[in-house]
Structure 1
Amino acid sequence: MNTPLDLAEFLAPGVSADEVPELAALTAARPLVDAFITLFRGTEAEVLMRLLVLREIGRDTDAPRWSPEALRARFTYLDPVKLETVLKRLRDNALLSFAADGHYHLSDIGRNAVAALAMLLRFSEEEEDVELGFLTAQLAGLQAVGGLTQEALGHLLGKLNELTWHFEEAIASGSEFHIVAARRRLSANEKWLARGTEILRKLLADPEVPFEVAQVAQRIGLAQSRLARADASFQRALNKIEAQRVTLGASGISSSDVSAWLRTLDAAALAAFADDAFALVPEIPLLAGGHELLDRAEAVLSEDVRAQEIDAALPPADATEIGAAPETEDLALLQHFAARLGQLSQPARLAEVVVGGGFAPAAYRLSLLALLADGDLIDASAGPAEGPVGEFMRLPLDVLFGDTLETVDADEIALISSGRVAPRGSAPAADNRSPAPLPQEIR
C-alpha cells in the first residue's frame, strides 16, 4: 500500500514534485520501487533472509503454491518466529500473495524482482563485468520484444565509456600489473562486446528506428571501436616495460618477478625489510662558548675577510709553451713488423708471422696483413704516399687466407685462420685469394 510521499524537504524552496518531470517515471512505478525497498531495507541479515525465502518460493515451478505447513517444512533451518516475520513482511508489501485457499505464491512484482536478481547473480559468478553482461542481455531482450529505448542504450554507452577510461588510466600508470589486469578484463568481456555489435548492426539496419536511438547507437559503435584498439595499446605499453625490465644476474629472475613477489607480502613483512636499514642519528647540541662565537663574528664582520670572499677576479693567464710538438701516433709495432716482413725470403705460415706478444699484438698484425692482401685492389693514390703506413703497403709480399682454422693454443690464442705470407711471385694469383679477415678470426 503506497504512503504519501513527502519530498518537500528534498526539493528547493518553492519547487513542487509536479514541476520536476524526472520524478514522474519513478512515482509512476511506486509498486515496483516499494517492492525493492521491502527487500533491501533493514540489516544485512534481514535482507538476506527475505531474498532467501522469496527465491526458494519462486524456484519450484511445478508447484508454485505453498501451504504454511509446506513452507515450515521447507525452511526447517530457520527460526519459526523469524520465518513468520519474513512471510508477513513480504505479504504486506505485495511481494507474496496469500490466496483464499490459504496458500502462498509469488505476485507478479515479486516474480519480476526474483528474475532480475537471478540474472544479476548469474553474471556475478563469471569473470566479466556484471554491468556489461547484464546491460547487453537487457538490450537483447528489449530488442527481441521491440522495446529498445534511448535510456537503455545510454546505460550501455556509459559503461563502455567507463571501461575506456579505466583502460587509459591503466596504460598511463605505467604499471605492468595494472596493464595486465586491464587486459584480462578486456579479454573477459570480448563476447559481450561482440554481442553488442550484433545488436547495433540489427538496430541500425532498421529504417524505422527513431533518430535519437540511432544517434546513441552510433556513439556506442565508436566506443566499441576504441575498446577494440585497446589491446594493441596494451601490447605497446608492455613492450616498453619489457625493454626496461632488469634481469638479476644469471638467475633468470627479473625485476617484475621481484615486484610480483613483494605484492604477495603484507605490510608487516614489508616493514621488516627496513629493520637495520636505517640508522638513527642523535641530535648533538651546539657546544660553543663565548670566545668561539666572538672569533667567528670578528671574521664575518671584518672588511678584509669579506673582500676576499667576494673577490671573483680571474687568475692571470699562463704563457703558452712555444714549440710544443703535437702528439703523434705510436707506430713502433708497425715499423718493427714491417722490418720483419722485409727480411722474409720464402713463404711462411700465417701463424708464424702473426703470433707473438699476446692476443692484442697478434690481432694488430693480422689487420695489417689485410692491407697487403687487398693492396692490389686499392688505388695507390688512395693510400698514404709517405710515412710508415705507406711504406708497409708497398712491401712486395703476397698474403693468402684460407677457409679453415689452425690450432695454436699458445700466447693467448686458441685458433687462427690458415694461410701464408710469401714474397711476391711465389704465392697464388691475387684473384684467387679470399677476402681479408678481421682480427676477430683469432680466437
Structure 2
Amino acid sequence: MTDQDFADYLAPGYVADDVPELSALAAARPVVGTFISLFRGTEAEVLLRLLVLREIGHDTDSPRWSPDALRRRFAYLDAVKLETVLKRLREHNLLSFGDDGHYHLSDPGRNAVAALGMLLRFDDTEDAELGFLTAQLAGLQATGSVNAEALGHLLSKLNDLTLHFEDAIASGSEFRIVESRQRLSANGKWLDRGTEILRQLLADPEAPFDVARIAQRIGLAQSRLARVDAAFQRALNKIETQRVTLGSSGISSSDVGLWLRRQNADTLLAMAQDAITDTADLRLLAGGHELLDRAEVALCDIERSQAQSVEMPPPDAAPAADRPEEEDLRLLTHFTGRLNTLREDAPLHDLIGGGGFHHAAYRMSLLAMLADASGTSEEGPVGEFLKIPMDVIFEDTLVDVGADEIARMTRGIVRPRTSNIND
C-alpha cells in the first residue's frame, strides 16, 4: 500500500505519512486484510464464509477436516458454492490446506472467528458493545497489556450510555424510561466487572499516567451511571401521579399507550379515520358568553391604548451646578493637625475620643490605615495624613473606656518617630 493508493482520499499537499493514525492502520495490513476478505461481497456470501469458518473451528478434538468430511458436514450447501467459499478462504489465508490434504483454520482465521464469537455470545437484552469492551479489557489486564486506547473505547461507551439514559428521562416517556432501565439492569454485571478492573488498575503504583488518568474518568462515568437508576425511579414516580384510570375498569392510560404501540400502522389508520377532522368547528370551542367576554376585553384594550398619550415631554435644560460636590474631609484635616502636634506617646483610646462613636470609629480606621501605610503616593489631605511620621502599635488586650459611646476597645499606643522628636 503506497501513497498513490490514498491520493484520491487525502487533501492536496498531504501524504499518508503525514497522518499518524492512517500510518498505524496501514502498518496493520495483515489484520485489516483478513477482515476485508472475510466481509467483502454480498450478505449471503459473508454469512456462508462465517458459517464455514465457525464450523471448521468448532470441533476442538479434530481441528483438521478432509474435503470429503467437509462436503458431508455441509451437505445442505450447493457443492459448487461450497468449493467457491473454501477457495476464497484459502486464497486469503483464512483457511489453510496442509500437505496431508486436510483443511484447518489459519491463525488469522481463528482470531477473526474468536472475535466474532465473543460478540455473538451476548444476550439480546445486553449491550454487546459494552460486554465486548469490558471482556477485552479484562483479557488485556490478565496479560498485563492494558493501554489507554482500550480504556478510551470503554470510557466513550459509558459516556454514550449516560447521554442515552438522560435523554430517556428528559423525554418523559414511560416506555423509553422503562426500556432504558431494563437496559441498565441487564448491563449491571459488566459495570461491576469494569469497577473491579479499575480498582486493580488504580491500585497499581506502576500504572502509566495516561492509563491511570483515563481509569479515573471511567470511574466517574460509572458513578454517574450508578445514580441513573434513582433518577429513573423518580421519573416513574412522577409519571405515576399523572396516570389516568379509565373508570372502574382498572385500565390506565399507560395500558392504552402500550396497546397502541403494539398495533401496526394500518390498524391505527383505520381507528383514526372517523376520529380526526381536518378543521375544528369553532362553535365547539366557545359559546356566546365566552365570545362576548373576549370581545369586551379586546375593546377595552383598544380604548385604553388610544387614550394613552404617546408624546414625549418637551426637552428641558439640566440645572447647572455651581461647583462639583466635594467630600467632607474636615474631620480628617483636623485629626491630621492634632497628630502633627503630638510629641510623646499617647494612648490610642485618648486620641480617637470625642464627638461620639461615629467620629471615634472614623479616627480608629484612619489610624489603622496609617499603621499599614508604607511609601504611599497619595495626594491631597489623605496623602498628607499618611505621610505623618507616626507609628501605631496595637496590643492584644482590651481597655475600658466608658466614654463617647465606647465601652471597651483594643489597647494601643500612638508613638511619634524619633526623627520627628529630634526635629
Q: CA deviation at 1:265?
A: 1.2
2:174 to 167, 173, 176: 176
Counterpart Cα distance in 2 of 1:311 and 1:67? 97
Unaligned runs of 5+ in 2: 280-298, 305-423
Given residue 237 of structure 2, which amino acid in structure 1 is its aligned partner?
N
Q: CA deviation at 1:79?
A: 1.1
Given residue 145 of structure 1, which amino acid in structure 2 is its aligned partner?
T
- 1:34 is matched with which residue? 33
Counterpart Cα distance in 2 of 1:310 and 1:188? 61
CA 1:310–1:12: 2 relative to 1, 3 Å: closer
Counterpart Cα distance in 2 of 1:276 and 1:76? 57
Counterpart Cα distance in 1 of 2:211 and 2:234? 36
Q: Secondary structure of 1:63's partner?
A: coil
Q: CA deviation at 1:251?
A: 1.6
TM-score by length of 1: 0.62
Counterpart Cα distance in 2 of 1:278 and 1:75? 57
Name the stretch that deviates more: 55-64 or 192-201.
Answer: 55-64
Q: CA deviation at 1:275?
A: 2.9
Name the stretch that deviates more: 136-145 or 77-86.
Answer: 77-86
Q: CA deviation at 1:4?
A: 8.8
Q: How is 1:34-433 mapped onto 2 (pairs within 5 angstroms)?
A: 34-123=33-122, 125-278=123-276, 312=303
Q: Secondary structure of 2:6's partner?
A: coil
Q: CA deviation at 1:277?
A: 3.0
Name the stretch that deviates more: 67-76 or 223-232.
Answer: 67-76
CA-to-partner distance for each residue in 1:58-80, whole Å, 9 max, x for gaps?
A: 11111111122221122111111
Counterpart Cα distance in 1 of 2:302 and 2:271? 51
Q: CA deviation at 1:38?
A: 0.9
Structure 1 residue ranges (4+ consecutive) displaced by more than 6 angstroms after TM superposition: 2-5, 308-311
Q: Report sequence identity in percent.
A: 73
CA-to-partner distance for each residue in 1:250-282, whole Å, 9 max, x for gaps?
A: 22111111111111111222222223335678x
CA 1:246–1:93: 2 relative to 1, 3 Å: same
Unaligned runs of 5+ in 1: 282-307, 314-443
Counterpart Cα distance in 2 of 1:90 and 1:4? 28
Name the stretch that deviates more: 232-241 or 270-279.
Answer: 270-279
Counterpart Cα distance in 1 of 2:2 and 2:74? 32
CA 1:37–1:5: 2 relative to 1, 3 Å: farther
Counterpart Cα distance in 2 of 1:222 and 1:29? 33
Counterpart Cα distance in 2 of 1:87 and 1:277? 61
CA 1:184–1:5: 2 relative to 1, 3 Å: farther
- 1:7 is matched with which residue? 6
Name the stretch that deviates more: 194-203 or 238-247.
Answer: 238-247
TM-score by length of 2: 0.65
Q: CA deviation at 1:24?
A: 2.2
Q: Residue 3 of structure 2 contacts residue 15 of structure 2 at CA under 8 Å; is this kept in 1? A: no
CA 1:251–1:12: 2 relative to 1, 3 Å: same
Counterpart Cα distance in 2 of 1:229 and 1:71? 53
CA 1:257–1:310: 2 relative to 1, 3 Å: closer
- 1:16 is matched with which residue? 15
Q: Secondary structure of 2:86's partner?
A: helix
CA-to-partner distance for each residue in 1:23-44, whole Å, 9 max, x for gaps?
A: 1221111111111011110001
Counterpart Cα distance in 2 of 1:4 and 1:90? 28
CA 1:278–1:59: 2 relative to 1, 3 Å: closer
Q: Secondary structure of 2:198's partner?
A: helix
CA-to-partner distance for each residue in 1:397-427, whole Å, 9 max, x for gaps?
A: xxxxxxxxxxxxxxxxxxxxxxxxxxxxxxx
Given residue 274 of structure 2, which amino acid in structure 1 is its aligned partner?
D
Q: Secondary structure of 2:218's partner?
A: helix
Counterpart Cα distance in 2 of 1:280 and 1:191? 52
Q: Secondary structure of 1:162's partner?
A: helix
Q: Secondary structure of 1:273's partner?
A: helix
Counterpart Cα distance in 2 of 1:310 and 1:192? 65
Q: CA deviation at 1:14?
A: 1.3
Calculate the aligned-residue CA RMSD, in Å: 2.1
